[in-house]
Homo-oligomer: A and B are copies of this chain.
């Protein structure tokens, strides 16, 4: 490791730390963002990804197609100068549009006072923006088709395997940063060390993606909403895409998926529960998309610590995968970068101290948002339909209008502020105690 000391650049980045050789594992949203952040601070970054380069790939593999970007993600993108570029092609969603079982629609705005909104962004598009931005840094080196096979965290040694040729290659780094998702290999290494607390919890619900295509080059539903079909035990949501289609996510217990065996049963099921969505999706497309793939599992992951000595760190889903019902998975992962690099930039900071401080600060907030997402798993399916939920929404919104800094509804503090997640919940608790 070079001992060259680079002084502060005056743009808020403290460069007093000697440059490290950093291996970032996973070139998804969090990995490519982390790589940018390290590169801007003068570190030598090697970004390893087991898939091919998605910028030249035809196939979109795994994971959801679009995502709801909110305040925490925006802030992290702004820090690397990409917020405006991302928002320029994102679709604002100003509220939830609820579809009842008869097909009637009603709107609950996220924030009637200041018009804050979520933004629907395409995962692939956002990832491309982040990877392209990295190309401008000569100190970022891309390694696609590199699957981490094993790692010795103590020594910083890694072995990678090519997914097709199975050729192996070795590498070393001063710091290994696992941004390799819910089934993280880096975390699996950490989990073997004594004192690593860990839980993985699968829920009974799986999900499957469908599509409402554009019609005559127009959206088939109002585009500026997150559409929700709450149905007790199951639910469906839809987010708008740039090409005027909607990506529809159907979420229900695996046993309900399994109970639908024929095209006829599927159409009957949609006529019963999603009558207004059926003609928009189209029977033929529905049948094709539903039966072509299996429903995907959803898992909630918590662990502590997020680091190993002064040698390794996990960020994003690798550290805290959550069920998708608060739309905070990506935002929380990006916020990991905001927090970690703000700690790393403190005067006289060492990498060992920074990793320790990150674990200490981040765990409670990441656990809080995992819990909130699990709670919303119930709320979105069920509570959105209830009268008391609508009352509470109205009350919250009214109070928020008159006392904006004093009364921030939970959803808004999570989605439209950078208040620590654990504080969002603590906040809600005293609100509940005051009023209910």
Contacts and interface: CB of A to CB of B under 8 A. Distances in A.
Interface of A: 191, 194-202, 297
- Secondary structure type dominating chain A contacts: strand
Contacts of A202: 194-197
Contacts of A196: 200, 202
A256 B18 CA distance: 35
A201 B200 CA distance: 12
Contact of A198 (B194, B195, B198, B297): B198
Contacts of A195: 202, 297
A167 to B, nearest CB: 21
A197 B194 contact: no
Nearest to A200: B198
Contact of A194 (B191, B194, B201, B297): B297
Nearest to A195: B202
A60 B201 CA distance: 37
A149 to B, nearest CB: 13
7 contacts: A194-B297, A195-B202, A196-B200, A197-B200, A197-B201, A197-B202, A199-B200
Given A197-B202, A199-B200, 14 more contacts: A191-B200, A194-B202, A194-B297, A195-B202, A195-B297, A196-B200, A196-B202, A197-B200, A197-B201, A198-B198, A198-B199, A198-B200, A199-B199, A199-B201
A197 B199 CA distance: 8
A301 to B, nearest CB: 10
Nearest to A297: B194
A287 to B, nearest CB: 25
A308 to B, nearest CB: 15
A392 to B, nearest CB: 31
A202 B198 CA distance: 9
A356 to B, nearest CB: 15
A89 to B, nearest CB: 34
A191 B196 CA distance: 16
Nearest to A183: B192
Nearest to A201: B197
A226 B423 CA distance: 45
Contacts of A201: 197, 199
Contacts of A191: 200
Contacts of A200: 191, 196-199
A189 B351 CA distance: 34
Nearest to A204: B195
A200 B192 CA distance: 11
Nearest to A300: B197
A294 to B, nearest CB: 10
A195 B195 CA distance: 24
A199 B194 CA distance: 14
